[in-house]
Structure 1
Amino acid sequence: MTEILVLYYSRHGGTRNIARLIARGIEAKGAVAKLRTVPEIASAGEPLPASEPSDPLVTLEDLATCDGLAMGSPVRFGNMAAPLKHFIDSSAKAWLAGTLIGKPAMVFTSGSMLHGGQETTLQSMMLPLLHHGMVIVGLPHSEPALHTTQGGGSPYGPSHVTAEDRRTADADEKSLALAAGRRLAHIASRLKD
């Protein structure tokens, strides 16, 4: 059975919601979606939030056993959020062992503004995955929602514009997240075979 790790960090729920849509797309292709998150880290002058994570925390073993990876973060000044970057920075053992070489990966994000840095955030997440030797999977323009979206979504990966009111994903954003999950599961199962 093909197993895809859906790894994300989400502070307010937008990125988590896209992760769950991607997981549904993965499972629609008959693969297993393994949802994992990363722990909070303290920001300058701010205490750690007291809430429990909604999914289990990721381990390096999760990287070793997955057949593919979907990785997501909210937009933080056009970059991935520090908690996710902290985990990636701690994955040197997996890098040295070649754990992720040849496995497919895709990235996704969520942000409050249409032009708030979604595409640069997606690109920032691709860089360490390329260093790990992963095969980057994007969204082709054959996906109709890429031509009609008024919110998130690009060839770099699915995304969601939450706006000030933390709105839920619209039809195009949902369609692109589901399609990305299906595409990643399909490619992962082909590469696994």
Structure 2
Amino acid sequence: MTDTTIPAGHRRDAKGRLVPEAQIKPIDRTRDELVHELYVKAEALNKAMREFKLAAFADIAAFVDLSAGEYGVSLGGNKGNVQLLSFDGELRIQRAIAERIVFDERLQAAKELIDECLTEWTVDARPEIALLVQDAFRVDSAGNIRTGNVLALKRLAIEDERWKRAMEAIGDAVQVVGSTSYVRFYRRQANGSYQALSLDLSGV
């Protein structure tokens, strides 16, 4: 294990070397102090935002349960999107929980079945479907399938049995790998639109 003890009158630089403080330029000391000072403040703000987010989610969940209790029902868990408005409609709070999904190997089986359908159907007869399929299986800049485009194929009313099996394979291929939750705050503007309060709570 590396000895992390720093002798009095020295500082460790970015390369791990011990440097006498007397040899450190004033501008480097000032920069070091600024970086540490701002980071400590940012860390405290991050903690406060995290605590606020947890409290906001808890308060919203408690209110949803209270509202459901008015109708004699009980709502379990925190899933689902909720929108709350102030009495005068000036303020709006939106809670959303979005699941992150990927497709497993069964997506390839679906693609094969869809390709069979497209091969048999003439392009002139159904060009819009061919375009939809080509766009659905196009990958993004990171090389990932656009899940929303693939799932949109399930909304097409096509009675071909191969197509139906392909849509079933797509459904089976969906794997939930996590979720992102956020709460957003809005104030109504003079023109009637709502402007979001600038808070990025999704990452804390």
Q: Shorter-normalised TM-score: what interval?
A: under 0.3
* Greater relative CO, 1 or 2 (CA 8 Å, sep 6+): 1
TM-score, normalised on structure 1?
0.20
More helix by share: 2
Q: Select the structure of larger CA radius of gyration.
A: 2
TM-score, normalised on structure 2?
0.20
